């Protein structure tokens, strides 16, 4: 256990039995002193292994290394130790100050590494590129820290996963515009997985697809059980964009006030190209697009299954807009199946707009077994449901 005032504070907790007690007492004295110097609580200093790494089961004794990081030099020191610390290790980084770093921070080539990032401070981007890159069998857990783009223009997303795993428990991802990429906040490909159970992605944009989150490729996934994606914009998929066989499962959380700009589709969510969307909970509301204000689904072989949650208060705008709540334009064998949930108070407001609640224009068809479609409106046809092609079946 070492401490150097000019570098990252680094320590590893090890030992059991009677020989561990004096070591722990010395560590507690150091913790109290350090917390006083950095204005931290004891929980900030020690972290909480059950919370920090709870997704990975019991944490082996002596396997957690911790860093207090307050500037870019200390950040580099922590990354150096992680990159050279070997495989299958667990780390907790606690931010003690607001600071900026260059693009391209990685955990190197180590595998099986899990890094928990915490501390109510802001880590910002000061050169163009990705703020954090995860590859292969690497995992990042974001707690109460803020990841922020701090540039007037940036070609890439803030967090990039190419086979890595990202758990967002709380905290914020904000203020980035990906001018040459998809996923203004988070971009997932290569079989990577992003799980969001808390926190906020806000004020991000992409000139291409997925203002908040973009998912691309077979095996790549986004699972949302909590948190909020809001005030994000893109050409298509203002909030979330899924393509290439990726999967999106939403059981909770809020996707709101996002926009597919100009002639775009899918203000809240856009799913295409053999991808699937399962909605069992959560809320998609207040989003806007030309078609599919809430959700636009145009997958060649994937399915949209709604078994819970609410799609409400979304708008399809433009001269010939369609699908204020949902626009389904997939060909068979893709299907839209509604087993439960609510699609309500959505609007298709153009001069010749259709399908205030749901607009169906694909041969895959829409089957409604249960749930509620109510209070939607359109200027021309189908305030609740409009079928331009394909089938709409209501079945008990």
pLDDT digits (tens, 9 = 90+) for 240-250: 999 999 999 99
Q: Is residue 227 located within the same domain as residue 146?
A: no
Non-local (6+) Cβ contacts of 45 within 8 A are 31, 34, 35, 68, 94
Q: Is 39 left (phi over 0), alpha (psi -120 to 50) or beta?
A: left
The secondary element (H helix, E strand) that includes residue 30 is helix 20-38
Q: Is residue 205 located within the same domain as residue 320?
A: yes
Q: How far apart are CA 197 and CA 218, in angstroms?
A: 22
User: Would residue 161 count as lying in a domain?
Assistant: no
Cβ proximity of 89 and 117 under 8 Å: no
User: Would residue 248 count as lying in a domain?
Assistant: yes
User: Would residue 191 count as lying in a domain?
Assistant: yes
Handedness of CA 51, 59, 123, 258 (dihedral sign): negative
With a cut of 80, say whether residue 363 has pLDDT above it: yes
- Tell me the per-residue pLDDT of 145-198, one tens digit each, with 9 for 90 and over: 999 998 988 999 999 999 999 999 999 999 999 999 999 999 999 999 999 999
Q: How far apart are CA 151 and CA 353, in angstroms?
A: 39
Q: Is residue 190 located within the same domain as residue 314?
A: yes
User: Would residue 165 count as lying in a domain?
Assistant: no
Short-list 284, 254, 283, 244, CA closest to 266: 284
Average pLDDT of the chain to the nearest whole number: 88
- % helix, strand, coil for the chain, step of 5: 10, 45, 45
Q: How many domains does the chain have?
A: 2
Cβ proximity of 142 and 134 under 8 Å: no
- pLDDT greater at residue 18 or residue 285: 285
Q: How far apart are CA 232 and CA 269, in angstroms?
A: 11
Q: Is residue 24 located within the same domain as residue 85?
A: yes
Give the phi and the psi of residue 334 in degrees, each rounded to 5.
-65, 145
Give percent of the chain with pLDDT exceeding 90: 77
Specify the pLDDT at position 36. Answer: 52
- DSSP secondary structure, 203-217, as one string: EEEEEEE-SSEEEES
Q: Is residue 291 located within the same domain as residue 190?
A: yes
Non-local (6+) Cβ contacts of 100 within 8 A are 72, 123, 124, 125, 126, 150
Specify the pLDDT at position 237. Answer: 98
Q: Is residue 235 located within the same domain as residue 91?
A: no
Q: Is residue 234 located within the same domain as residue 146?
A: no
User: Would residue 164 count as lying in a domain?
Assistant: no
How far CA 51 is from CA of 15, 34, 142, 143, 278, in Å, comes to 21, 22, 11, 10, 28
Handedness of CA 53, 58, 63, 68 (dihedral sign): positive
**Angle ∠(62,68,69) on CA atoms, nearest 5:** 135
User: Would residue 158 count as lying in a domain?
Assistant: no
> Domain boundary at 151, 175, 193, which?
151
Cβ proximity of 248 and 216 under 8 Å: no
Give percent of the chain with pLDDT exceeding 70: 84
- Tell me the per-residue pLDDT of 64-110, one tens digit each, with 9 for 90 and over: 899 999 999 999 999 999 999 999 999 999 999 999 999 999 999 99
- pLDDT greater at residue 65 or residue 14: 65
Q: Is residue 336 located within the same domain as residue 247?
A: yes
User: Would residue 210 count as lying in a domain?
Assistant: yes
User: Would residue 124 count as lying in a domain?
Assistant: yes
Cβ proximity of 270 and 237 under 8 Å: yes
With a cut of 60, say whether residue 50 has pLDDT above it: no
Non-local (6+) Cβ contacts of 60 within 8 A are none
Short-list 322, 331, 324, CA closest to 365: 331
Give the phi and the psi of residue 80 in degrees, each rounded to 5.
-60, -45
Show the domain range for 138: 1-151
> Domain boundary at 125, 151, 177, which?
151
Q: Is residue 189 located within the same domain as residue 147?
A: no
Short-list 367, 208, 218, CA closest to 301: 218
Q: Is residue 138 located within the same domain as residue 194?
A: no
The secondary element (H helix, E strand) that includes residue 90 is strand 90-95
Q: Is residue 201 located within the same domain as residue 262?
A: yes
Q: How far apart are CA 117 and CA 46, in angstroms?
A: 13
Q: Is residue 104 located within the same domain as residue 228?
A: no
> Domain boundary at 134, 151, 168, which?
151
């Amino acid at each position: 256990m070492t401490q150097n005032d000019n570098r990252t504070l680094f320590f590893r907790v090890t030992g059991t039995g009677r020989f561990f007690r004096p070591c722990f007492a010395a560590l507690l004295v150091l913790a109290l002193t350090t917390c006083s110097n950095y204005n931290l609580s004891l929980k900030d200093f020690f972290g909480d292994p059950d919370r920090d790494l709870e997704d990975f089961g019991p944490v082996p004794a002596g396997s957690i290394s911790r860093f207090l990081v307050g500037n870019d030099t200390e950040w580099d020191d922590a990354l150096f130790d992680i990159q050279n610390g070997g495989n299958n290790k667990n780390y907790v980084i606690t931010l003690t100050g607001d600071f900026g770093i260059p693009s391209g921070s990685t955990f190197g080539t180590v595998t099986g590494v899990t890094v928990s990032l915490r501390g109510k401070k802001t880590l910002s981007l000061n050169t163009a590129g990705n703020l954090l890159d995860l590859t292969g069998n690497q995992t990042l857990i974001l707690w109460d820290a803020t990841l922020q783009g701090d540039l007037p223009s940036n070609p890439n997303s803030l967090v990039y996963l190419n086979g890595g795993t990202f758990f967002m428990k709380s905290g914020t991802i904000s203020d980035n515009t990906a001018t040459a990429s998809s996923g203004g906040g988070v971009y997932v490909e290569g079989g990577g997985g992003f799980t969001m159970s808390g926190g906020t992605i806000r004020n991000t944009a992409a000139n291409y697809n997925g203002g908040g989150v973009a998912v691309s490729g077979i095996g790549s996934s986004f699972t949302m059980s909590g948190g909020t994606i809001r005030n994000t914009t893109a050409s298509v998929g203002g909030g979330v964009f899924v393509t290439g066989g990726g999967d999106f499962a939403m059981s909770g959380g809020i996707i709101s006030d996002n926009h597919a700009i100009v002639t775009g589709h899918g203000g809240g969510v856009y799913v295409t190209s053999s991808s699937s969307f399962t909605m069992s909970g959560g809320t998609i509301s207040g989003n806007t697009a030309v078609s599919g204000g809430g959700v636009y689904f145009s997958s060649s072989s994937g399915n949209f299954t709604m078994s819970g949650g609410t799609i409400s208060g979304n708008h399809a705008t433009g001269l010939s807009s369609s699908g204020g709540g949902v626009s389904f334009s997939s060909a068979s064998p893709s299907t839209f199946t509604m087993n439960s949930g609510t699609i309500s108070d959505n609007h298709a407001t153009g001069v010749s707009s259709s399908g205030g609640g749901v607009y169906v224009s694909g041969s895959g068809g829409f089957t409604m077994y249960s749930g509620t479609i109510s209070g939607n409106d359109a200027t021309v046809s189908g305030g609740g449901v409009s079928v331009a092609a394909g089938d709409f079946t209501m079945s008990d």
